[in-house]
Structure 1
């Protein structure tokens, strides 16, 4: 199995959650989302982001508004709808449960590894 592919799949799994968190802070422009995701090392490209934003919009979780720009064409700023806010709250609960569960499993594995290292070999 290719580790890079596994890493990409893990990131894709949390991308929607991260995007909705970014938007939950207030109106946000897509390129600002890309910058934040890249800074957080959740690599994403426009070809991934825009279809996801469209899907979230079509699901009623996001909306957008056009804002005139003094330096070019109008910009589309995304916001969460009330339904999107509720959806994000549920996703947050799931994330906490999942994160705690994974952490528990990883700790047990690390503890077992530490015990095995301490045992003398014959």
Structure 2
């Protein structure tokens, strides 16, 4: 990916990461590394460095809650779970994302003859 394309992708990811975290948690509770791996596998985050501060902010604003549970290795892990407020925000985001993505796609479709 070119430098310019990567810059664009990074900016878009930063804008939607919080909602991607919520969407991932909507399918089930996850511990931090598990969540980081799920997002990294989809190329939605570069790693844990940006994720944990975001999770702390999301907890402070009531989008997620945490609890500790012993893992298979016997080590305690902090799990993240989405709150009712978080579920509402995922629904709001879904509607906004669908509208914006259609608007951008339409606009780009008007750019006949311009290479992407």
Question: Considering the TM-score relative to the shorter chain, is it more than 0.5?
Answer: yes
* CA deviation profile, 1:46-87 (whole Å, cap 9, x unmatched): 110000000000000100111112414311111111111111
May I ask how many residue pairs the two structures share in their alignment? Answer: 111
Runs of 4+ in 1 over 6 A off after TM superposition: none
Partner of residue 40, structure 1: 42
Give the alignment's Cα RMSD to 1 decimal.
1.6
Q: Which runs of 5+ in 2 are unaligned?
A: none
- Greater displacement, 32-41 / 51-60: 32-41
Q: Which runs of 5+ in 1 are unaligned?
A: 115-122
Partner of residue 113, structure 2: 113
- Greater displacement, 2-11 / 19-28: 2-11
Partner of residue 28, structure 2: 26
Larger radius of gyration: 1
Partner of residue 13, structure 1: 15
Partner of residue 82, structure 1: 84
